[in-house]
Structure 1
Amino acid sequence: MNYTLLVWFFLCFNSLVYAQYVEPEKKDKEAILKKQNQKIIYPKQQFDSITAKNMLAIGKGKIKGVAFTRARQNKNFGLKTGEKIYANKIKVILFPVTPYFEEYYTLWKDKSKNNPKRNTYVMMSNDATRYRLESITNSSGEFTFPDMKPGKYYIYGTLDYTTTYTGNEYTGSAYNGYGGRTDYYSPYEYYKNSSEFLELFIEVKSDGEIVNVKLR
């Protein structure tokens, strides 16, 4: 085995080792759902690709934002009242708000139609899904969509984070010479994984406008 072939074999082997999960294509996801006898609901109107393409054409405006959430605190009944958690290196996706998207969003928010517990899912067509823009945040949660035309847009992202909590664990008791009892506790930490879905509707009102937003 020559050196070049050995290097190629090593790279392929490592790629296989670290490729732990490959996300199925959207059409494959639909096939899986249908095979499991799960109902998929689409908007009734036909998707207009020309309208979506024109809305995503190059303009002079810009959407600048910061994506973040606040930690949920048990002491405040799970409300998001804790410190800010910035979205570090997450994907923010933008869709033009076409009539097709408006119908999709209304269906998607309707729990009587979009309800995994009842095996029903609301989805967009493959063509509609293609007409989108994507941006990756930096470590401070900042993101930008440049070259935007005037229009209405919808952006979203998913922020996963881990919260650290502290507590005191009872470790035992002891009695002293006066008949009293002393309880002993040891401090400990525990962790909770959370996931926040961040979404926002935005409007660029004039060509060249810079719109600053908070995605939270």
Structure 2
Amino acid sequence: MKLKKYIVAIFYALSSTAVVSAQYKEPEKKDKIEALYPQVHFDSLQAKQKLAKGTATIKGIAFTKAKSKWGLKVGQRIYANQIKVTLFPVTPYLESWYTLRKEKESLRKRRYVYLSKNAYRYRLEAITNSDGEFTFPDMKPGKYFLQGFLGYTHNGTYNEYTGTGYNNYGGQTDYYQQKSYSVDHEDRIEAFVEVKEDGEIVRVNLH
């Protein structure tokens, strides 16, 4: 019985080794998400102090504009209806995150720059009304970063080719049918804002 257990143990040991040193190894997918983080130290005490209560107010309007087929934002404003706006104190860590995101983040290459869990803890949140308006009361003088994600649907029409007709004289007519389409979008809207003195009301457009 002991001999049998010993043989089984050897078999599993050899099997596990064979998996590691197999002749064929599956390569990693090229579209694997690459997560990047700032290398600057995050000072939680500094962030906490920056979010302490003050007497100033930040009032804003969050909106975007529909994108054209060339990627340009055109047309009327689309106001953020009941979305969450997040406020972060501007620290060396956040500045590093923002710079790194501009340099490295790419949807095409699937690279994303994240805040650490500890840094993300130090934030304030507000919900917009149907006109995109939001308020952060009780703010201290200092610099802040605001961010939100605004989803909307772009509707349009196009002419779809349905066939060609010919007449008795050799001419032809192409026929089209108008069809509707809709495309969902989500825009990241953000802005930096500075409160310069106690008691003031700072207004900002978040787009």
When structure 1 is superposed on structure 2, of 183-192 and 144-153 the one drifting more is: 183-192
Structure 1 residue 120: Cα displacement = 5.6
Q: What is the CA distance between 1:100 and its match in structure 2? A: 2.1
Partner of 1:66: 61
Counterpart residue number, 1:88: 81
Alignment partner for residue 101 of structure 2, among 104, 108, 119?
Answer: 108
The aligned residue for residue 30 of structure 1 is none
| 5+ long unaligned stretches in structure 1 | 1-36
For residue 162 of structure 2, what is the aligned residue in structure 1?
171
Q: TM-score, normalised by structure 2?
A: 0.75
Cα RMSD (Å): 2.5
The number of residue pairs the alignment matches comes to 177
Change (3 A) 1:109 1:181: closer
Q: What amino acid is aligned across from residue 110 of structure 1 in structure 2?
A: E
Distance 1:116 1:72 in 2: 17
SS in 1 for 2:45: helix
Look up the match of 1:57: 52
> Which has more radius of gyration?
2
Which residue matches 1:206?
Answer: 197
Instruction: Write 1 or 2 for the structure with the bigger share of helix.
Output: 1
Structure 1 residues 174 and 85, CA gap change in structure 2 (3 angstroms): same
Given the superposition, is the C-alpha separation of residues 116 and 165 from structure 1 closer, same or farther in structure 2, using an over 3 Å criterion? closer
- The 2-side partners of 1:169 and 1:64 are apart by 46
Partner of 1:165: helix, strand, or coil? strand
Aligned-pair identity in percent equals: 56
Cα drift, residue 115 of structure 1:
5.2
Q: In structure 2, what is the Cα distance between the partners aligned to 1:66 and 1:187?
A: 37
- Against the structure 1 CA distance between its residues 178 and 62, is the aligned structure 2 distance closer, same or farther, given a 3 Å change threshold? same
Q: Measure, in 2, the Cα distance between the counterparts of 1:39 and 1:171.
A: 44
Residue of structure 2 in register with 1:135 after alignment:
126
CA–CA separation in structure 2 for the residues paired with 1:120 and 1:81: 28
Letter in 1 for 2:144: Y
**Separation in 1, partners of 2:99, 2:125:** 22
Mapped to 1, the partners of 2:150 and 2:125 lie a distance apart of 15
SS at match of 2:179: strand
Counterparts of 1:168 and 1:115, CA distance in 2: 34
Q: Deviations over 1:131-156 (max 9, x none)?
A: 10011111111111111111000011
